[in-house]
Amino acid sequence: MSKSKRPRTALVTGASSGIGEAIAREYAKRGIGLVLVARRRERLEALASELGEHVRVAIIAEDLADAGAPGRIVEQLERDGLQVDILVNNAGYGVPGRFLSSDWKTHADFLQVMVGAVAELTHRLLPGMEARGHGGVLNVASVAGLVPGSAGHTMYGAVKSWMIRFSESLSLECAPRGVHVTALCPGFTYSEFHDVTGTRAQVSRMSPRMWLQADDVARAGIDALEAGEPMCIPGWRYRLIRQVAKHLPDGVARRIIGRRSKDFRDDS
């Protein structure tokens, strides 16, 4: 995206905390208007009050586990005359434990947030970007989508792998039309994520060197999108892990992940 076509407004899902909040803050620093989307209205209002001193900020309180939420979000944008130039699909979480330790409704809600809402919001907002000849989609995936699957949090790596492949394909389709698409693939990042999934005690035993700061991840992802890079892996350690995983025999990589998965996954 050239500076002459600098986007005016970014819509960020899951903007009330963690990487989503950090991305919103970074865009505000860069003078980009914001549409903040999350379930927790009070948090959105507090963040909007703070960032609204610098850029125009709108909030939309919606739960993306509701299949009707993407449509209502786009309808709200149209009613308010808001044009989205950057879509940040960040909302997400993990379902701890074995696949069969949770009921299907739990898994269905997870898939709606992590796959259904991502695909639908992208499908609804991309046409406007392509028509204007500029824009961007930043999909917050994970390095978990680039390494073999682990026991526990059974679908997390799978949906992140889908998000990466989805982003790669969209990048090829949209680049000729002036729209950049990037998959942001962070590793362990300081946020509320592990508190929500109940794995804080496990991951706290990991080396501090493996942890990333949310604001660093946000800057790296936004810079990669601006540069038209289809994938961004913040942190040299995680780029190294990805390269090692690519070159190890599949069976060896799976055994290593299998042995280490209890360090960061609840498989009970």
Do strands 57-61 and 33-38 pair parallel, antiparallel, or not at all (unpaired)? parallel
* pLDDT for the residue numbered 90: 98
Catalytic site residues?
156
* pLDDT for the residue numbered 156: 96
* pLDDT for the residue numbered 4: 44
Write out the H or E segment, with its range, that includes residue 253. Answer: helix 250-260
Q: How far is CA 67 from the centre of its chain?
A: 18
Give the phi and the psi of residue 64 in degrees, each rounded to 5: -70, -5
* pLDDT for the residue numbered 149: 84
Strand partners, 181: 137
* pLDDT for the residue numbered 204: 61
Mind listing the pLDDT tens digit of every residue in the chain (268 residues)?
Answer: 544 455 599 999 999 999 999 999 999 999 999 999 999 999 999 999 999 998 999 999 999 999 999 999 999 999 999 999 999 999 999 999 999 999 999 999 999 999 999 999 999 999 999 999 999 999 999 999 999 888 889 999 999 999 999 999 999 999 999 999 999 999 999 865 545 544 545 556 666 778 899 999 999 999 999 999 999 999 999 999 888 878 777 776 667 666 655 565 566 6
| Contact assessment for residue 148 and residue 254, using Cβ atoms and an 8 Å cutoff | yes
| Contact assessment for residue 233 and residue 185, using Cβ atoms and an 8 Å cutoff | yes
**197: closest CA among 158, 236, 231, 154?**
154
Q: Cα dist. 214→22, 45, 154, 219, 220 in Å?
A: 6, 21, 24, 9, 10
End-to-end CA distance of the chain: 45
pTM: 0.88
* pLDDT for the residue numbered 202: 53
Residues 6 or more apart from 116 whose CB is under 8 A from it? 67, 70
Q: How far is CA 39 from the centre of its chain?
A: 16
* pLDDT for the residue numbered 103: 98
**191: closest CA among 69, 60, 22?**
22
Q: Cα dist. 223→62, 138, 180, 210, 246 in Å?
A: 28, 11, 12, 22, 25
What structural domains does the chain harbor? 3-263 (3.40.50.720)
